[in-house]
Structure 1
Amino acid sequence: MKTINLKDKLKQMQQQRSALLATNFYNYETLCGIMEAASAMKQPVILQLTRSSIEYMGMAVAVNMAKTALEQYNVEGWLHLDHSDSYELVAQCLEAGFDSVMIDASEKPLEENIAITRKVVALAAKYNANVEAELGYVAKLGQSTEITGFTEPEEARYFVAQTGVNALAVAIGSAHGFYKKAPELDIERLKEIHRLTDVALVLHGGSGIPAASLRESINNGICKINLATEIKNIFIRTLDKCLSAKEEIDLRKLFPPAIKAVSDLVTEKLEIVK
C-alpha cells in the first residue's frame, strides 16, 4: 500500500526531519519480520531488493511477495532496487513495477557516473519512479573501510544539477557491513551537502550506527536510512541457536523465532527514524 509517490514522501520526511527505513529482504521470512514490525508501529517502510536477491527468488516472485505483503499487513511502503550495477537491470525492475531504483556508478569517474545516472533518470521519468544514485566511497562488503572518499559538497551540487536525480546516497563515514568501531559521521559535511542540494539524502550502511548518530544525520538532511546486514545477521544467528538447541526439522517451528528477531530489530530501528 502506498499513498503518495516515493519522491514526494522522501521530501516530506526531509522537511519533517524524519526518515524512512529502507529494509532489504531475502526471503519470505525476513519479509514477514519487517512487515510485522512496520504494521505494529504503523510506520511506512521501503522494501529493498538487490540483484542477488532478485536472482535468488526470481523477479516475479520477489515483486509479488513484496506487494502482497504490503497489502496484507496494511503498511504504507514502496519497492526499491538497491545498488543496481546496470541500466538493463534498472529497466527490468521498472517494467516489473518497482517504485524506485538505484543506479550505483559511484566507483566510476564522475562524468561517467553522471552519464549513466542521467540515462536512468530519463527512463524512470516514464514510470514516475524515484531514482537514487551514489557519490563518493561507501565501502561495500569486502572492501577496505580504511580508504576515504567522502562526498564533496560542491561535487554533489554539480552531480545533482547535471543528472536530475531524486535521491543521493552520500559518503560521510558509513560503510556496508559491520563496523570494527562505532563510525563517526561527518555531520558538518552533511549539512553543507544539504545546503547546496535540493534532493533526498540517503545514508547507506545503517547497520551498527549508534542511534544518536542516526538521529543527528536525520536532523541534518538524511531522509532514507538503509538496513541490510543486521537483518541477515539476526535472522541467521537466531535460526542457528534454534537448530543447536533441539533436534527439530519442521521449518514452520524453526522459522518463527528468527522472524520475531527480525521484527524486534526493525521495531528498534523504526523507533529511531520516526
Structure 2
Amino acid sequence: MTLTPTRTLLDEAAEAGRGLGAFNVLHLETAEALVAAAERTGRPVILQLSENCVGYHGALEPIALATLSIADASSARVAVHLDHAEDAQLALRAIDLGFGSVMYDGAKLEFAENVATTRRVVAHAASAGVLVEAELGEIGGKDGAHAPGVRTDPDEAARFVAETGVGALAVAVGSSHAMVERVAAIDLDLIARLRSAVPVPLVLHGSSGVGDELIVEGIRAGLVKINVSTHLNVQFTGAIRAYLDAHPTTVDSRKVLAAGRDALGVEAARLLDLFGSAGRDRTV
C-alpha cells in the first residue's frame, strides 16, 4: 500500500472521535516494529522522525528514505511525519522529500516570530499537499509544562491557527517529554476548551508520561494525535537488557535488536488499539 497522507488519517480520526498513534522512529528496527504493529491491529499509524533523530544519523535522507520505504511497502495505512523541527529549513527539506506532514516547532519564539516562520513553512507545504503541525505553549522537561503561564491559551491558540493556516496544533496541557513514569496529569477541561476554540486536530506531546485511562479521557475531551516515544523506548531497551542477561555470550547484534523490536511492536499494537477504540461514543 502506498503512503497515506497524514491529513487523511487525522481527519478520519477527528471525525470519529478516535485517537491516532504517532510513534517516533529512532532506527530501522523501530520503523519495522511500528509498521508490524499497524498491520497486526489493522489500525493506521504515523511514523515520526525528530530533529534529534536526524542529528543522531548525521543527515535527513538516509533514515528518512528508509522510513518512507518501510511505510510505503506496508499493507497498513502509514503516514510519515517530521517531529519537532526547530530548524525551518529541515521542515522544508522533509516536505520536498515526500513526508506527509511536518512539525515546525517555533514555541520558543515570540508569538509574532513564531507566526511569521510557521506561515513560511505552511506556504511551502501547501503546494505539495503536506500538512503542517505547530506548537503553542511549552511542552518541556518535567517541570516546564507544569509551571504557571506555559500552558496553551485557547484564545491565543485560535488566533495562531487563523494567522498561520496550520493543519494541527500541539498543545501544552500538562504532559512533559522524556518521562519514564506515567504519572503526568493532563488538564481535561483545558483540552475541551481548546477543542472548542481551535478548528484543527489537537496533538498531545509527552504522552509517555500519561497513563492509559487519562489518555483515553483526553481523547474523549478532544485530543486526536497522540505522540509516544520514551514509553516505547523503555520497552525496546528493557527487552534488550533481558536478552543480554539470558544470553551473555551472544555476539550477533541482530538477535539483540530483534528482541527489542519484538517487544516494542507488542506495546505499540496495544497502544494503537487503545487510542483507536477510545472514541467518545465507545467504551474501552
1:44 aligns with 2:44: yes
User: Contact conserved, 2:155 with 2:197, CA < 8 A, in 1?
Assistant: yes
Q: Which amino acid aligns with 1:172?
A: V
**Residue by residue, what CA displacement relative to the aligned partner does 1:178-237 show, whole Å, maximum 9, x if unpaired?**
166622211111111111111011000111311111111111221100011112222122
Residue 32 (structure 2) pairs with residue 32 (structure 1): yes
1:228 aligns with 2:229: yes
Alpha-carbon distance between aligned partners in 2 of 1:238 and 1:178, rounded to the nearest angstrom: 19
Q: 1:252 to 1:215 in 2, by over 3 A?
A: same
Distance 1:19 1:65 in 2: 26
Structure 2 unaligned regions, length at least 5 = 277-284
User: Shift in Å at residue 2 of structure 1?
Assistant: 4.9
Distance in 2 between the 1:34 and 1:55 partners? Answer: 21
Whether the 8 Å CA contact 1:30–1:231 is kept in 2: the answer is no
Letter in 2 for 1:216: E
Residue equivalent to 1:69: 70
Q: How many residues align?
A: 273
Relative distance call for 1:136 and 1:179 in structure 2 (3 A) is farther
Q: Aligned runs of 1:99-110 on 2, under 5 Å?
A: 99-110=100-111
Normalising by structure 1, what TM-score? 0.93
User: Any idea what SS the aligned residue of 1:248 has?
Assistant: coil
Q: Could you tell me how far apart the structure 1 residues matched to 2:151 and 2:26 are?
A: 29
Question: What SS is found at the alignment partner of 2:208?
Answer: coil
What residue is the counterpart of 2:259 in the other structure? 257
Counterpart residue identity of residue 83, structure 1:
H
User: How far is the alpha carbon of 1:128 from its aligned partner?
Assistant: 0.8
- Provide the rounded CA distance (Å) in 2 between the counterparts of 1:161 and 1:145: 24
- Which digits, 9 at most, give the CA deviation of each residue in 1:56-77, with x for residues without a partner? 3343322222222223331211
CA contact (8 A) 2:3 2:79 kept: no
| Equivalent-residue separation in structure 2 for 1:125 and 1:221 (angstroms) | 25
> Unaligned stretches of 5+ in structure 1?
none
- The amino acid that maps onto 1:50 is S
Provide the residue aligned with 2:214 in structure 1: 213
Residue identity matched to 2:262: K
Matches within 5 A, 1:89-100: 89-100=90-101
Give distance in 1, aligned partners of 2:204 and 2:56: 26
**Residue of structure 2 equivalent to 1:116:** 117
Query: Contact between 1:33 and 1:259, CA under 8 Å: does it hold in 2?
Result: yes
Counterpart amino acid of 1:242? Answer: Y
Contact persistence 2:175–2:209 (CA under 8 A)? no
Cα distance 1:4–1:239, how it changes in 2: closer, same or farther (>3 A)?
closer
**3-state SS in 2 of match to 1:225:** strand
Partner deviation per Cα, 1:119-154 (whole Å, 9 max, x = no partner): 1111111111010000111114x7645524111111
Give the secondary-structure state (helix, strand or coil) at the position aligned to 1:216.
Answer: helix
State the partner residue of 2:139: 138
Partner of 1:199: 200
How far apart, CA to CA, are the structure 1 residues paired with 2:210 and 2:230? 12
> Does the C-alpha gap of structure 1 residues 10 and 177 become closer, same or farther in structure 2, counting only changes over 3 Å?
same
Q: Which amino acid aligns with 1:139?
A: G
The one of 259, 266, 269 aligned to 2:268: 266
Distance 2:99 2:146 in 1: 34
Query: SS of the residue aligned with 1:182?
Result: coil
Is the counterpart of residue 164 in structure 1 residue 156 in structure 2? no
Name the structure 1 match of 2:279.
none
Deviation, 1:51, is: 1.8
Cα pair distance change 1:268/1:147, threshold 3 Å? same
When the two chains are superposed, the root-mean-square deviation of aligned CA atoms in Å is: 1.8
Q: Which runs of 4+ in 1 moved over 6 A?
A: none
Contact 1:17 1:220 in 2 (8 A): no
